[in-house]
A = this chain, B = another copy of it.
C-alpha cells in the first residue's frame, strides 16, 4: 500500500513501527560516510601498478624531454596524446593541468572574471553576471560561481538533459548570462546522459553574450556501470560543424581512474580558446607535475588500455550501485514515497523524497551515524526549492557498510515521509 493511501491510524501505526526500527539502528552506533563521491580503497588498489612504472629510471617522454625538470607549460605531448581522445579533441586542443579539474574550472572562471574571454570585457567589470545551473547539480561548481558573485539560475533537468527550450530562450535574450555548468554524461547527481539532440542544441547555442561559455565537465565520460555503455555526442565536433567552436570548455581528469588528488586533469577547447588560455596560464605557473603525467602515460600506454582499465572499476562499483537501487526498489517503491533513476554510470544515485522531507531524512541519518551529502547541496546557494533531493554516494563504503547504511536510509525516508504526511 502506498503511504498516501493510508488513513491516519494506519499511518500512525506505520510511523511507530518505523520509529522502533530507527531507534534500534541508532543503538548500533554506526559511523559511515556516504557524503562524497570518493573511490574506495579497493578501487585505489586497481592503479597501484602506476606507482612503479618509473622504477626503470627513465624519466624522459618520447621526445627525450627530462620530465624531472622545469618546462612544458601545457603538458607533455605523450599525455596530450593519451588524454585527447577522452575529451574527443586534437592534441593542439588540450591543456594538461595539475591534479584537479575543479581547479582548472575555477581558473577559467577567474580568468573570465579578471581578464575577460577572448578580448571581451572582464566579468568583474560587468554590472551583472549570471550562470545557468541545471539542477540538481554539483555543489562545487555552484560554489565557484557563487564565490565570484555570479547570479545562478536553476534550469530543470529532464531525462535527456537540461531543459533546452528554457536555455535557448534565456541566453538569446540576456547578455549578462555568461555560462552554464554541465555534466553531460552520467550527470552529477542524476546520472543522466545528454541526448544527441541536447548536445547538438548546446553546440548550436547563439547566446547574446559573445563570451558565453559552456563549462562541459565530462568527469564521468568513461565511468560506466554496465557492459554496454552509451556515449554522448562530441560537443566540440558538433560546434565546429556550425562554426561555433569557441562556445565550449571541456574538462576531464583521472581522479576517479587512478588516484583522486594524485591524478591528472585536462581541458579541451578550440585552438583559439586554448591559445588564449595557454598564454594566460604562463603567468601563474612554469609547468605542472610532468612526472605524474609520465606515470599515467607509462601505466596506460594507450587510450584503449585506459578504457579497458575502467572495467575493473565497474566490477567494484556496479554491485554497490545495485545494493542501493535494489534496496530503494524493494523498500521505497511500494510505498510511493520517492523516485530515482538507476544510473548506468557516474558516481551517484539521485534520490527524490516527498517534497519537504530531504533535510529531515539527512538529519535522521546523521543522528544515527550515517553522513549523507547535505540536503540542498545539489542546488545553487544550497537551496533546494522543494527540499526533496538527496545525493547518495555508494562508492566509498564497503558493500556490507553500504547495505547497513541503506537499511538505515530507507527507514529514515519512511519515518520522515510518515511524519510529513501526518503533519498535513
Please list the residues of chain A having a beta carbon within 8 angstroms of any beta carbon in chain B: 36, 38-39, 41, 44, 48, 51-52, 54-55, 57, 59, 66-71, 98-100, 102-103, 106-107, 110, 113-115, 124, 140, 143-144, 147-148, 255, 259-262, 280, 283-292
A102→B286 CA distance, assembly (Å): 8
Shortest distance from the beta carbon of A283 to any chain B beta carbon, whole Å: 5
Q: Which residues of chain B come closer than 8 Å to A259, judged between CB atoms?
A: 68-69, 291
Complex: how many Å from CA A100 to CA B73?
A: 12
> How far, in Å, is A294 (CB) from chain B's closest CB?
9
The 8 Å CB contact of A70, one of B36, B148, B285, B286, is B36
Contact indicator A100/B285 (Cβ below 8 Å): yes
With A261-B290, A290-B261, A290-B262 given, is the CB distance from A285 to B103 under 8 Å?
Answer: yes
Q: Which residue of B lies closest to A122 (CB)?
A: B124
* Contacts A/B (CB < 8 Å), 23 sampled: A36-B70, A44-B66, A44-B68, A44-B69, A51-B55, A68-B259, A68-B262, A69-B260, A98-B98, A98-B99, A98-B289, A100-B285, A100-B286, A102-B285, A106-B284, A114-B114, A114-B124, A114-B148, A115-B147, A143-B283, A147-B283, A261-B287, A262-B292
Given A259-B69, A292-B292, A55 and B52 contact (CB-CB distance below 8 Å): yes
Closest Cβ of chain B: how far from A50's Cβ, in Å?
10
Q: Tell whether, in the assembled complex, residue A260 and residue B70 are in contact, meaning their CB atoms are under 8 Å apart.
A: yes
A141 to B72, CA, bound (A): 19
Which B residues lie within 8 Å of A98 (CB)?
Answer: 98-99, 288-289
Query: Is there an interface contact between B48 and A261, defined as CB atoms closer than 8 Å?
Result: no
Closest 7 A/B residue pairs (Cβ)? A106-B284, A262-B291, A70-B260, A44-B68, A261-B287, A103-B285, A147-B283
Of A59, A67, A103, A148, most buried by chain B (CB within 10 Å of CB) is A103
Of chain B, the residue at the smallest CB distance from A287 is B261
Task: Name the contact of A261 in the complex, choosing from B52, B115, B286 (C-beta under 8 A).
Answer: B286
CB distance from A225 to the nearest CB of B (A): 20
Q: State how many angstroms separate the Cβ of A419 from the closest Cβ of chain B.
A: 34
Q: Distance in Å from the Cβ of A37 to the closest Cβ of chain B?
A: 9
Which residues on B sit within 8 Å (CB–CB) of A289?
98-99, 261-262, 289, 292
Given A44-B66, A98-B288, A103-B285, output 4 extra A-B contacts at Cβ < 8 Å. A100-B285, A261-B287, A261-B290, A262-B291
Complex CA distance for A280 and B103, rounded to whole angstroms: 12
Q: Which residues of B contact A102 (CB under 8 A)?
A: 284-286
Complex Cα–Cα for A100 and B103 (A)? 14
Nearest chain B CB to A116's CB is how many angstroms away?
12
Distance, CA A340 to CA B144, complexed state (A): 48
A36 to B286, CA, bound (A): 11
Cβ contact within 8 Å between B48 and A57:
yes
Q: Tell me how far the C-beta of A291 lies from the nearest C-beta in chain B, rounded to whole angstroms.
A: 4
Cβ of A69 and Cβ of B103 under 8 Å apart? no
CB distance from A252 to the nearest CB of B (A): 16
Query: Which one of B54, B99, B144 contacts A284 once the chains associate, using CB atoms below 8 Å?
Result: B144
State A285–B280 Cα separation when bound (angstroms).
Answer: 19
- Min CB distance A96 to B, Å, is 12
Task: Give the residue name and chain of the B residue nearest to A144 (CB).
Answer: B283
Contacts of A39 in B (CB 8 A): 69
Interchain CB contact under 8 A, A261 and B69: yes
